[in-house]
Amino acid sequence: MLTGWPANVITLPFGGRPRVEPVTRWTGSWLPGSPEQGSPDPSDGAVRYAGERLGLPAEGVGSVAGFGRRALAFVLDLLLSSLVAGAFTAPELPRNWSVLAWALLTVVPTAAFGMTPGMTLFGLRVARLDGKAFVGVPRAVVRTVLLFLVVPAVVTNTDRQGLHDRAVDVVVLRSR
């Protein structure tokens, strides 16, 4: 019997001895790494870490960035854009001018350098999957518009690519 798993007691008809069998999880045997399958085997197509299918390292520089760093960089970019917009509209509040400032502070540096100011601070960069150096303006604009909607950024795959990244064929990597 598996340790730490609840068990079903199965009674047999006609006074047979009851036997104990382990209860499988609701995930059953179809989930890689479940008790029925053991540890995932890389030869069977199972993904061991984010970025493996893209040929990226598991950890360190060049690995896929985690959600926490990405979220913090996004929040920092929002705050910075609010400050920039506020500097131009003072003493009034920036209102929608902060959205324009955020779009410019996201599109221009991403297209030219592959990182926003927040990404630079948290050691992140946007890289094209085809290996070319610059993200480019069209990709940066589409990525920023989808990022503005937030939901595409939250829906990710096993390589931690949001829908906004997959739409323009890029990935966010750790740069340090």
Question: What would the pLDDT profile of 30-47 be if each residue is shown by its tens digit?
Answer: 445 444 444 444 556 678
Domain extents for the chain? 7-44, 67-174
Residue 20 phi, psi (nearest 5): -110, 130
Mean pLDDT estimate for the chain:
82
Question: What would the pLDDT profile of 47-70 be if each residue is shown by its tens digit?
Answer: 889 989 888 999 999 999 999 999
Q: How far apart are CA 83 and CA 87, in angstroms?
A: 6
Query: How would you class 115 by CB atoms within 10 Å of its CB: exposed for 0-12, middle for 13-18, buried for 19 or more?
Result: buried
Residue 28 phi, psi (nearest 5): 65, -155
Q: What integer pLDDT is reported at residue 119 of this predicted model?
A: 97
- Are the CB atoms for 69 and 115 separated by under 8 Å? no
- Are the CB atoms for 50 and 65 separated by under 8 Å? no
